[in-house]
Chain A
Amino acid sequence: MTNDECKKVVLDIISDIAPDEDLSNVKPDVRLRDQLQLDSMDFLDIVMELRKRHGIEVPEADYIQLASLDSCALYLVPKFNALAAKS
């Protein structure tokens, strides 16, 4: 999985959990919370959807890694690739 593919996965999830938001100009290096109306429950939704849709686990200590699209990609791509290697 590439970084861009990973960012698309995250944006797809966000489009479902924050359906009123305009996601066309999300800046990858800016904290998601600083540019979108997302609260802590929404981040739990992102974690839950990663688990449900993709089998990816994000331990509570790592939630901070989901702050921006860039940090999401940095943290999640190895997990996606590890999962792909297993299957």
Chain B
Amino acid sequence: MNLPRIVITGVGLTAPNGNSLAEFRKNLLSGVAGIEWMEVRYMGRLLAGVCHYDPLKYQTKKEVRVGTRAGSISIWCAREAVADSGLVLENLPKDRIGIYIGCTEHGNVETENEIFAISKFGYDTKYWSHYHNPRTVANNPAGEASLNLGVTGPAYTIGAACAAGNLGLIHATQMLRLGEVDQAICGGISESIRTFGIFAGFKSQGALATHEDPSKASRPFDKARNGIVVSEGGCLYTLERLEDALARGAKIYAEIAGYGVNSDASDYVLPNPVRQAECVRKSIANAGLTPKDIHIVNTHATATPLGDIQECEAIRAVFGEGCPDTHINNTKSFIGHCMGAAGALELAGNLPSFDDLVVHPTINVDDLDPACALPGLVLNKPVRASKVDTILNNSFGMLGINSTLIVKRFVA
């Protein structure tokens, strides 16, 4: 079957260490992390990845007040992506634009805030906000973006835990190929640091990172890793069919080469390396490639003691020793775990490698865990690759949702 080719033509992002692709990439190459101390309700000072974009660039104060953080991040990323793409929304049929935003979860922040608010009034629910429902519906982030941009095409979220960022891109690719829309704004976002529940949950699970130095806290593959740093963030792309992008002379960052999505069907939280490997293999086959054709593998590894080992096991099973041109890295070591945004953001951080042939490292590996040793693992310092024509991005999530996305250098 000859499917339309889909390309990335715009990137908009906010990460704990950068509010544009250029700033983000610069920090990934110079070893600058973005983790800081943050006061969390009921829990005190905790480590978190906090974004510092200016919401008022694209929203009124009232929109910020009425909306959610997830909505605000979505608006920022969508507007930045559209501006970067050169698409002029005013000249486009708005009903032919789709907004597909992956998110880990939605509604916890507002629910926690409301319960806290009514606790000041003896839990009398007449003090419960009338904004609660529009703020907590699962489509809120995409809906706020559609309102802000005036997009009247399909706009909804895709719930896929921490695999969601990739799913946003994958779903958009499918919708473009089906001809459902002509342009897609897609990727993933997360507001998760605004809820204490995610911190408390990981802490109860024994999976919340601690370190006296925030920039050293997220340390996938290091022997001393002790859990996840929770972060917020977002990254949305504009995707188009190749012929449309070429017709308007768009800048093309990369072409969607292939993808794989599957489920572990084995545990609520424990990853399953057999299914992860299956997902990676599926994506490579879908792209019409072999493992040795993959030049960068961006891992999902979140710095939990077991999860990192299991992903390494999956990667080892697929790539083994016979892939000399394959480099492996990890972006969470800089920005923590941006949850629903993770896949989309981590892909973005690697896209410039098509131009500069440099692979950003995994930082904070002072003592590599032998169980995480992989050929081609890029540790602490960037490396120059002989070629970068393909990037494979892993994102896995709770309840066993796995997603792998491969993009390739665009060649006409």
For this complex, 22 residue pairs linking A to B, each with C-beta atoms less than 8 Å apart, are A17-B62, A17-B65, A18-B62, A19-B61, A19-B62, A19-B65, A20-B60, A20-B61, A20-B62, A37-B62, A41-B66, A41-B130, A41-B131, A44-B130, A45-B130, A48-B127, A48-B129, A48-B130, A51-B126, A51-B127, A52-B121, A52-B127
In chain B, positions 40-82 with a C-beta closer than 8 Å to chain A are 60-62, 65-66
In which size bucket is the chain B interface? 10 to 19
Binary per-residue interface labels of chain A (16-30) against chain B in the complex, 1 for a CB within 8 Å, 0 otherwise: 011110000000000
Q: Which of chain A's residues have a CB closer than 8 A to the CB of B129? A: 48
In the assembly, what is the distance between CA of A3 and CA of B65, in Å? 29
Task: List A contacts of B60 (CB < 8 A).
Answer: 20
Expressed in whole angstroms, the minimum distance between the Cβ of A57 and any Cβ of chain B is: 9
Contacting A at CB under 8 A, from B114-131, are 121, 126-127, 129-131
Say what secondary structure dominates the interface of chain B.
helix
Interface string of B106-145 (1 = CB under 8 A from A): 0000000000000001000011011100000000000000
How many A-B residue pairs have C-beta atoms within 8 angstroms? Tell me: 22
6 cross-chain pairs, A with B, having the tightest CB-CB distances, nearest first: A19-B61, A44-B130, A20-B60, A20-B61, A20-B62, A18-B62
Count A interface residues, CB 8 Å. 11
List of A residues within 8 angstroms of B127 by Cβ:
48, 51-52
Supplied contacts A20-B62, A37-B62, A48-B129, 16 more A-B pairs, CB within 8 Å:
A17-B62, A19-B61, A19-B62, A19-B65, A20-B60, A20-B61, A41-B66, A41-B130, A41-B131, A44-B130, A45-B130, A48-B130, A51-B126, A51-B127, A52-B121, A52-B127
Docked complex Cα distance between A44 and B121 (Å) = 18
For A52, give the chain B residue with the smallest CB separation: B127
Q: Annotate A31-57 by CB proximity to B: 1 below 8 A, 0 otherwise.
A: 000000100010011001001100000
Q: With a CB–CB cut-off of 8 A, which chain B residues contact A45?
A: 130
Query: In the docked arrangement, what's the CA distance between A51 and B131, Å?
Result: 16
Chain A contacts for B130, CB-based, 8 A: 41, 44-45, 48
Chain A neighbourhood of B126, CB < 8 A: 51
Q: How far is the CB of A83 from chain B (nearest CB, A)?
A: 16
Kindly report which residue of chain A lies nearest to residue B126, judged by CB atoms: A51
Closest CB-CB distance, B61 to chain A, in whole Å?
Answer: 4
Cβ of B317 to closest chain A Cβ, rounded Å:
54
Distance of A41 Cα from B129 Cα, bound (Å): 10
Q: Which residues of A contact B131 (CB under 8 A)?
A: 41
A19 to chain B: closest residue by CB: B61
Q: Specify the chain A residue showing the minimal Cβ separation from B66.
A: A41
Interfacial chain A residues near B65, Cβ < 8 Å: 17, 19
Query: For residue A18, which residues in chain B have a CB less than 8 angstroms away from its CB?
Result: 62
